[in-house]
Chain A
Amino acid sequence: MTRANNRTLPPTCSPPSPAALARALFAACAALVITGCGNIEPWVKPYERQALADPIMSFDPHPISSSYMHHVFEAREGARGALGSAGGGCGCN
């Protein structure tokens, strides 16, 4: 299809790149999925989480020690990664 005339579009109207579209779509989906699912009734009530809130249930009770042990293994093994993301939590606070 050819354009009706030879006018070029001003820079502000240029079509977005596929990468920019993908980013915008991802952002929109993330917002919709996360906010849309916020009304699920928790099957473990906050007052039923005393065992989960016990410090012995922490996945990473001593971050200084676990990061050292990750370093010990990573230097001697081929595998790496998926060791738990920083900032994640158990959701029991």
Chain B
Amino acid sequence: MTAWHSTSSFGDLAERARRALLAVARSLLPVAAALVALPAVAAVLPEDRADVLYHRYEGGGVTIHGPSVLVRKKMAEKYSVSASYYVDMVTSASIDVEVSGASQYKEERTQYGVGFDYLRGKTTYSLSYTNSEENDYQAETASFNISQDLFGDLTTISMGFSKGWDVVRNSTDPLFEEDVERWSYRVGVTQILTKTLIAALDFEVITDEGFLNNPYRSYRYLNPADDTTFARAPEIYPHTRTSNAVALNGKYFLPYRAALGGGYRYYTDTWGIRADTFEVNYTHPIGRWILELGYRYYTQDHADFYSDLFERRDQQNFMARDKELSTFTSHRVRLGGTYEFLTGGTGFVKKGSASLFYDRIEFSYEDFRDARYSMDPNSDNFVPAGQEPLYEFGANVIQAFISIWF
């Protein structure tokens, strides 16, 4: 694959963003009308802040790194604008690439985002648009959110809607082009429970329609000529998917100055995937340092049409062998720290901080085998198809970023 080269002018992007945001705004007009009628009491917009981040992910034969920038600025205490820029530079020789017989590839994904918030009384209206481009995939998303403080600011309710338009291409087939449309509906409640405890409940429904496969991926089935090896055929996914996710998160201020957070998310979708996510984190300031420790556990059941090894070609209507759709668990451990500087401010800068986070993630698959063992019957390491060891891998994720408040 070749690196992505932008063919869109800024004017095109701006026009697409305008149309997308208008479409989303029209769909939520009744809700906006209801909230405009609310009593007006002062609330605040997010702080003016600029972040520059470098990220690096390394694991499973894949290295992804790049910069990210996020800037947010208020105007007249009523409006806030934000802009973001994000790049993924990918070098991949993952197990999927190896099993497909391809060689290591490089590609680049660039994402731009703009956002606008309007504060009226205790209601914040937010519009945002993001555009993501790579040589074989383009995604646009427009979002609209409303949040409202209630009950003496003990409660914040929010609701939102997003619409996405993706174009899927295949770098080996110039004629291949398919579309995906996405809809997301969100509601959430954040509640102050006590002087030291706050909780948030979020619910989101996402529906996708279109070409949902990865066009480069294959499923595998027993080779009819030799059932110790396998053959491959292009995956076939359903053209629709609807998912439901509900998450409960809480944060508790300990008797000394430190915070303990925790959360759980329940997930289910029409493909038969069911997943649970648990997370705990601990934040501890020491002088100018803020240290963070965290642990996350994730587990999921496989999709109905997933199989590591089908018995024959065209065994059923839908067939997939993506490890992301298999049964697996992952553990994530986080260690990080933030150092605050210029705490007294200087010039237009109110304060600054430098952060470094390290995450170690371990993935263990329960029905996705390491098919590299059964690719070559003449290899010393050969293991018959279906009896290979289960696949597992670890990943190191590093984030280093500077934040400035102004």
Contacts and interface: CB of A to CB of B under 8 A. Distances in A.
A35 B37 CA distance: 8
Nearest to A68: B55
Given A30-B35, A79-B298, A85 B303 contact: no
Contacts of A68: 53, 55, 68, 86, 399
A63 to B, nearest CB: 7
B289 to A, nearest CB: 12
A93 B261 CA distance: 20
Contacts of A65: 53, 355, 357, 399, 401
Given A63-B51, A77-B300, 16 more contacts: A38-B38, A40-B151, A40-B152, A44-B154, A54-B257, A56-B283, A57-B253, A59-B251, A72-B361, A72-B397, A78-B275, A78-B325, A80-B243, A86-B128, A92-B192, A93-B153
Contacts of B187: 85
Nearest to B203: A82
Contacts of B148: 34
Secondary structure at the A interface, as helix, strand, loop or mixed, is loop
Interface residues of B, number: 97
A82 to B, nearest CB: 4
Contacts of A89: 124, 147, 149, 156, 190
Contacts of A48: 195
Nearest to B326: A78
Secondary structure at the B interface, as helix, strand, loop or mixed, is strand
Contacts of A4: none
B44 to A, nearest CB: 5
Interface string B43-66: 110000001010101000000000
A56 B258 contact: yes
B316 to A, nearest CB: 19
A91 interface: yes
Interface string A9-31: 00000000000000110111011
A80 B186 CA distance: 12
B259 A56 contact: yes
A93 to B, nearest CB: 5
Contacts of A26: 30-31, 34
A87 B157 CA distance: 10
A81 B243 contact: yes
Interface string A60-85: 00111100110011011111111111
A42 B69 CA distance: 38
B35 A34 contact: yes
14 contacts: A24-B30, A42-B152, A44-B194, A51-B195, A52-B196, A59-B190, A59-B200, A72-B361, A73-B298, A79-B267, A82-B202, A82-B247, A86-B128, A90-B198
A81 B253 contact: no
Interface residues of A, number: 53
Contact of A93 (B44, B55, B128, B200): B44
Q: Which 7 pairs show the lowest CB-CB distances between chains A and B?
A: A42-B152, A82-B245, A81-B204, A81-B245, A27-B30, A79-B267, A79-B275
A59 B252 CA distance: 11
B249 interface: yes
A63 B265 CA distance: 19
Contact of B298 (A42, A43, A63, A77): A77
A30 B160 CA distance: 14
Nearest to B265: A82
Contacts of A63: 51, 70
A46 to B, nearest CB: 7
B231 interface: no
A52 B198 contact: yes
B202 A46 contact: no
Contacts of B159: 85
B117 A87 contact: yes
Contact of A81 (B184, B261, B273): B184
B145 A87 contact: yes
B43 A64 contact: no
B147 A87 contact: yes
A87 B146 contact: yes
